Amino acid sequence: MAECHPVGFQWVMEAKARGATIIHVDPRFTRTSAMADLHVPLRAGSDIVFLGAIVNHVLSQDKYFRDYVVAYTNAASIVSDDYRDPEDLDGLFSGFDAENRQYDFHTWQYEGREVQAAAAQRDMEYEDRAVRTAGRGEAHGSGGARSGTARTDPTLQHPRCVFQILKRHFQRYTPEMVEQSCGVPPELFARVCDELTRNSGRDRTSAFCYAVGWTQHTVGVQYIRTAAILQALLGNIGRPGGGILALRGHASIQGSTDIPTLFNLLPGYIPMPYAHPDQDLAAFLAAEGTEKGYWANIGAYTTSLLRSWWGDAATADNDYCFDYLPRLTGSHSTYDTVQRQLAGECVGYFLLGENPAVGSGNAKMQRLGMANLDWLVVRDLTMIESATWWQNGPEIETGEMTTADLKTEVFFLPAAAHTEKNGSFTNTQRMLQWHHEAVKPPGEARSDLWFMYHLGRRIRAKLAGSTDDRDRPILDLTWSYPTEGAIEEPSAEAVLAEINGSDADGNPLSSYEQLKDDGSTRCGCWIYCGVRADGVNQAARRKPGREQSWVAPEWGWAWPANRRILYNRAAADPDGRPWSERKALVWWDADEQKWTGHDVPDFPPTKAPDYRPDDDARGPQALSGTDPFIMQDDGKAWLFVPAGLTDGPLPTHYEPQDSPFDNPLYGQQRNPAREVLPLRHPANRMQPSGSEPGAGVFPYVATTYRLTEHHTAGGMSRSLPYLAELQPEFFCEVSPELAAERGLEQLGWATIVSARGVIEARVLVTDRLTPLTVAGRTMHQIGLPYHWGPTGYSTGDAANELTSMSLDPNTHIQESKALACDIRAGRRPRGPARLALLHEYQRRAGITAETGTEI
Amino acid sequence: MGVRTWIEGWPVYRQALGADRTGRGAAAKSRTSETLTPRTETADEVVKSICPYCAVGCGQDVYVRNGAVTQIEGDPDSPVSRGRLCPKGSASLQLTTGSSRVQQVLYRRPHSDHWEHLDLDTAMDMIADRVIAARRDHWQDEQGGARTRRTMGFASLGGATLDNEENYLIKKLFTALGAVQIENQARV
Ligand code: SF4
């Protein structure tokens, strides 16, 4: 965090100054470790063992916050009799379909009630929910009753209650297993358990901060889920000083998830519809919505979105143009898109401030995909590798590509900088902050707002008058925004107003509670509703922090409803009193009969703690006054996830796709549901693992990361003299022991090889990386900052030449944080010899198209 | 210049006898630097902004003079950052005003080995034509008996460095065109 979110880290230092203990768990010793009380180096890729063993410790030593767990989590819920755990099936959950490598989640559901997820893969319930709603359900499905009440056992004794399942699932995640698999000695592990549990409970809270070190794995979602289980057991969610904080790496990466430039989402986490026969809006809403909690209002959110996109063309009679939305069939993630490009089915590509030629997993595959396009539009501030691969990419040097043979037409359109446009970024705490235009963009540089608006305007003009049914969605689209100045820059305020939404008379809405499913309201992103309450740009509020409370509610605007801590009802006990005065945040004011506190309560403002719903209640009214997790179908924090995840209801340790080690816990080596098969390609070969023959060719573990002085794939930093001077070229970090083993010299060169590529880096010999003892042998790790490519002032090979396209099945994110590789002294070969070395490694390891792709 | 002024102009003298004993502040200043004023003092206006790099979202004050950005500093009012910026945020003056920025549209023809300039209007028109053609040529009305009403002909990648309003228009326009392959760095 000190490296990659340096200014945010000042608050960790403030906490430390007030007595907080800082624990840093990372394969590398970094600036964060230097400031921490405890640094715990572990093997990259072993985090579920580490966290799972803490869960086991908390459960077996009775260290959990019992009142919180019983009242606010699903610990007491009883799970279906058909559920089987990896403990029973040697690493698989019940419901695995080996042919399609997918899980049928039905046996994971509660007994007596089928719930829907508040996020993730909701379409998996389509057959049960939409089809049954349409009156044809009995033929399909699980038989589990959807409505009703799940059976619970508040004593937590029932053998099939979540609490007992959890205990059993993690029983072999022990300190000895941590030592064997993570390389963390038992004394150090015991200290972590002790510090964490001592600092959690009624009077104290602990927070977890993570970044892509957790997400970029074939089991990334389950890493974070393990932390979620732990924090829920310890009572650290919804309370000040608690939580699991995703430290995100781009100015508005949170915003681009909320208002998603992502294939599987519509604004506000409404799922993009999948293709199903005869699907109308009602079927979609029935399938994707919940019965209880705020997702039951999905109709209001969706209808308001459709009304804001298609305006008066969207009527009740035509299902508010629901049919205008294109449909998904499976995954269309950026990695699947590369496959489509290679197949010649996707011929055009827009790159809008992103540099996949060095920044995405398996950079070569990205370039091969681009080389097969008809046209490519790159919009960026400076010339980046994704615009120049046809000129000077690695394949030109090896002779795999010849410029004259490359057919792709490339447009480079210069972009405007943040100082040259109005707009809002959503930071890592879900807070929108407006930045104001200071000057006009130079030359032909334009904002992406300008680009999209004028591109849309032109396309609409060219298609005007078309009678083709497929052109209706683009011609009926609401697409008139006021423009300003000589360059006709569209008004970002007007776009924000559309996002915020309006009532039937065009007045700005102030809360998503006002949204209706009858077409009378419009709203471009329901969770952002209120950002322009009273017609005022709340994101532009800048009351100085020192003139406000510690919550600083009048700086910017956080979704939803300017709440700064989500699910903060959990900061009070079931009766509505703060768990302790020290940790008071939001509480029930019995005199006023409403919730109050330092933050905006994340709860219906007048729902009393003793409120109990009628049996036929729906939506938010169906949750009781003690259900803090108001987006969930049962109002509880899910220790066990009965729906929504594609790879299991509980986190289970699987080895990384390419690992020098066997899975010490199960016969199942890798995540059985990971995505690897559809991405097979000669340039995306996988490696043998563990005790498989040939695995010894790649004996070390590499992990990628960022430096303080550069930004992601370097597009915004390698061309800056200041930053280039601070970190002038690509390097790798190795321990003195590994340097000795492989003859690597400080400031000399090393060549690093995986089944995908060969790169070279300057060597930094440092005890910041320490060898660990794993499975009884010494294991070395190699640190690879991933900022580089051949352009800019600071240059070097891209670490992503080594990474593979093997993905987490929930998020479709690649595994770039743990991969087996080899390292040798000296520079890499030039020209065709670079390829020859790669092929020699593949041969030595016996790699074929099938290697590593088995279940 | 009198002798006294001359001697007092000598940094070591000032360091030895003045308040700045470590010689890292006032004692080290030359007469030229004495007369300099910071760019922040001569600015015509200060525009409120946010750092464009990571998601901490530090506040920035953008100093403008004669229609050009002259300096970018941390915003002391921000409860997030309290005036601080890290090396990247501090370097954002170079990001926005540096010579590496491309200011003209560039175009590489199929099979060509060089860039050529294209004016913005022509480029926009060509891109619009290409979107329409790719959309049409790779249109898919249905798959496996279920309606898809989409095009697989073009894709887009990017958004995490852009504004919410920009992401909104990207998603809205491309979805209305029937594209589903819309992605950003959140996946990467
Ligand atoms: S100044 Fe540094 S820490 Fe702050 S937002 Fe910018 S990159 Fe992040």
pLDDT in tens, A636-679: 999 999 999 999 999 999 999 999 999 999 999 999 999 999 99
Determine contact, residues A565/A598, Cβ cutoff 8 Å: no
Q: H or E element: which one contains A680? A: none
Length of chain B: 188
pLDDT confidence band for B21 (50 / 70 / 90):
confident
| Residue-by-residue DSSP string for A340-371 | HHHTTS--EEEEES--HHHHSSSHHHHHHHHH
Identify all chain B residues contacting A396, using CB atoms and an 8 Å cutoff. Answer: none
Q: Are residues B93 and B113 in the same domain?
A: no
**pLDDT for A96:** 97
Q: Are residues B28 and B68 in the same domain?
A: no
**Bridge partners, residue A433, by sequence:** A425
Q: How many helices (H) and strands (E) does chain B have?
A: 7, 9
**pLDDT for B6:** 75
The hierarchical CATH code for the domain A675-844 is 2.40.40.20
CB-neighbour burial class of residue A737 (10 A; exposed 0-12, middle 13-18, buried 19+): middle
Nearest one of A219, A37, A254, A331 to A670, comparing CA atoms: A219
Q: Are residues B49 and B90 in the same domain?
A: yes
- Residue A135 scores a pLDDT above 70: no
Q: Does the beta carbon of B76 lie under 8 angstroms from any beta carbon of chain A?
A: yes
Identify all chain B residues contacting A544, using CB atoms and an 8 Å cutoff. Answer: 76-77, 79
The total number of structural domains in chain B stands at 4
Q: CATH classification of A334-423+440-472 is 3.40.50.740, yes or no?
A: yes
Would the CB of B154 count as within 6 Å of ligand 1? no
CB contact under 8 A, B186 and A492: no
- Positive or negative, the CA dihedral A257, A262, A264, A266 is positive
A763, amino acid identity: V
CA distance linking residue A152 with residue A72, whole number of Å: 13
For A686-767, where are the E strands, in sequence order?
A: 700-705, 731-734, 749-753, 758-765
**pLDDT for B27:** 80
CB-neighbour burial class of residue A549 (10 A; exposed 0-12, middle 13-18, buried 19+): exposed
CATH of the domain at B54: 2.20.25.90
Q: Are residues B158 and B182 in the same domain?
A: yes
Query: Within a domain: residue B82?
Result: yes
Which chain B residues in 6-25 lie under 8 Å from chain A, judged by CB atoms? none
Residue of B nearest to A479 (CA): B173
Residue of A nearest to B136 (CA): A470
CB contact under 8 A, A435 and B48: yes
CA distance linking residue A479 with residue A628, whole number of Å: 39
Nearest one of A722, A711, A564, A647 to A248, comparing CA atoms: A711
Dihedral angle computed from the Cα positions of residues A797, B98, A450 and A369, in that order, rounded to the nearest 10 degrees: -10
pLDDT confidence band for A51 (50 / 70 / 90):
very high
The reply to whether A675-844 shares the fold of A334-423+440-472 is no
Over the stretch A838-853, which tens digit does the pLDDT of each residue have? 999 999 999 999 999 9
Residue A131 gets which letter from DSSP?
I
How many percent of chain B have pLDDT more than 70? 99
Alpha-helix runs per DSSP H in A83-219: 86-89, 126, 132-133, 162-169, 175-182, 186-198, 212-215
Dihedral angle computed from the Cα positions of residues A218, A635, A268 and A261, in that order, rounded to the nearest 10 degrees: 0
Q: Which of A1, A3, A5, A13 to mutate to test the pocket of ligand 1 (most atoms within 8 A of CB)?
A: A5
Would the CB of B58 count as within 6 Å of ligand 1? yes
Q: H or E element: which one contains B171? A: helix B164-176
Average pLDDT (B38-58) is 94
Would the CB of A10 count as within 6 Å of ligand 1? no
Residue A692 gets which letter from DSSP?
S
Helix/strand/coil percentages in chain A, nearest 5: 35, 15, 50
Paired tokens of A816: 């770039």
pLDDT confidence band for B33 (50 / 70 / 90):
confident
pLDDT confidence band for A144 (50 / 70 / 90):
very low
Q: What are phi and psi of A530, to 5 degrees?
A: 110, -10
Q: Does the beta carbon of B39 lie under 8 angstroms from any beta carbon of chain A?
A: no
C-alpha A516: how far from chain center: 30
The CA-CA-CA angle for residues A350, A254, B63, to 5°, reads: 85
**pLDDT for B79:** 98
The residue segments making up the domain with residue B109 are 102-136
* Cβ neighbours of A497 (radius 10 Å): 20
Rounded to the nearest integer, the mean pLDDT of chain B is: 93
A40, amino acid identity: V
Identify all chain A residues contacting B101, using CB atoms and an 8 Å cutoff. Answer: 381-382, 414, 417, 442, 445
Q: Are residues B151 and B117 in the same domain?
A: no
Average pLDDT (A335-353) is 97
Over the stretch A86-116, which tens digit does the pLDDT of each residue have? 999 999 999 999 999 999 999 999 998 888 8
Dihedral angle computed from the Cα positions of residues A634, A809, A215 and A70, in that order, rounded to the nearest 10 degrees: 20
Average pLDDT (A444-462) is 98
pLDDT confidence band for A130 (50 / 70 / 90):
low
Query: Within a domain: residue B118?
Result: yes
Average pLDDT (A441-449) is 98
Residue A268 gets which letter from DSSP?
G
* Cβ neighbours of A462 (radius 10 Å): 14
Least confident of A558-567, A775-784, B11-20, B115-124: B11-20
- Residue B164 scores a pLDDT above 80: yes
CB contact under 8 A, B47 and A390: no
How many percent of chain A have pLDDT more than 70? 97
- Residue A131 scores a pLDDT above 60: no
Q: Does the beta carbon of A359 lie under 8 angstroms from any beta carbon of chain B?
A: yes
CA distance linking residue A698 with residue A224, whole number of Å: 28
State how far the alpha carbon of A172 is from the alpha carbons of A47, A214, A226, B115, in Å.
Answer: 15, 22, 15, 61
Q: Show me where the domains of chain A are located.
A: 334-423+440-472, 584-628, 675-844
Residues in CB range of A31: below 8 A, 6 or more apart: A2, A3, A6, A708
Nearest one of B91, B53, B82, B55 to A11, comparing CA atoms: B82
Average pLDDT (A334-348) is 97
Note the ipTM here. Answer: 0.96
Task: Give the ligand 1 atom nearest the CA of B54.
Answer: 8
- Residue A227 scores a pLDDT above 60: yes
| Residue-by-residue DSSP string for A781-811 | EEEEE----SSSSSB---GGGT----B-TTT
**pLDDT for A132:** 44
Query: Within a domain: residue B72?
Result: yes
Among protein residues, the one with the nearest Cα to ligand 1's atom 2 is: B86
pTM of the prediction?
0.95
Over the stretch A723-734, which tens digit does the pLDDT of each residue have? 999 999 999 999
pLDDT confidence band for A142 (50 / 70 / 90):
very low
Query: Within a domain: residue B186?
Result: yes
Query: Within a domain: residue B153?
Result: yes
Residues in CB range of B48: below 8 A, 6 or more apart: A434, A435, A436, A540, A542, B59, B60, B61, B62, B75
Determine contact, residues A368/A357, Cβ cutoff 8 Å: no
**pLDDT for A334:** 96
**Bridge partners, residue A763, by sequence:** A732
**pLDDT for A139:** 31
**pLDDT for A646:** 94
- Residue A149 scores a pLDDT above 90: no
Length of chain A: 855
Distance from CA of B42 to the nearest CA of A (A): 16
CA distance linking residue B140 with residue B119, whole number of Å: 34
Query: Within a domain: residue B40?
Result: no
Identify which of B91, B113, B138 has the shortest CB distance to residue A404.
Answer: B113
A185, amino acid identity: P
Dihedral angle computed from the Cα positions of residues A505, A508, A510 and A513, in that order, rounded to the nearest 10 degrees: 40
Q: Are residues B125 and B166 in the same domain?
A: no
Identify which of B87, B166, B187 has the shortest CB distance to residue A262.
Answer: B187
Distance from CA of B183 to the nearest CA of A (A): 4
CA distance linking residue A141 with residue A526, whole number of Å: 32
Average pLDDT (B8-22) is 80
Alpha-helix runs per DSSP H in A634-765: 721-726, 736-742
Nearest one of A627, A634, A582, A581 to A604, comparing CA atoms: A627
Least confident of A115-119, A196-200, A369-373, A565-569: A115-119
CA distance linking residue A382 with residue A792, whole number of Å: 9
State how far the alpha carbon of B126 is from the alpha carbons of A13, B52, B107, B121, in Å.
Answer: 53, 30, 11, 9
Q: Does the beta carbon of B171 lie under 8 angstroms from any beta carbon of chain A?
A: yes
Residues in CB range of A581: below 8 A, 6 or more apart: none
Best to test chain A binding among B78, B164, B174 (most A CBs inside 10 Å): B164
**Bridge partners, residue A479, by sequence:** none
Determine contact, residues A805/A724, Cβ cutoff 8 Å: no
**pLDDT for A257:** 96
CA distance linking residue A695 with residue A701, whole number of Å: 12
pLDDT confidence band for A134 (50 / 70 / 90):
very low
CA distance linking residue A801 with residue A367, whole number of Å: 11
Least confident of A144-153, A814-823, B7-16, B38-47: A144-153
Q: Does the beta carbon of A263 lie under 8 angstroms from any beta carbon of chain B?
A: yes
- Residue A165 scores a pLDDT above 70: yes
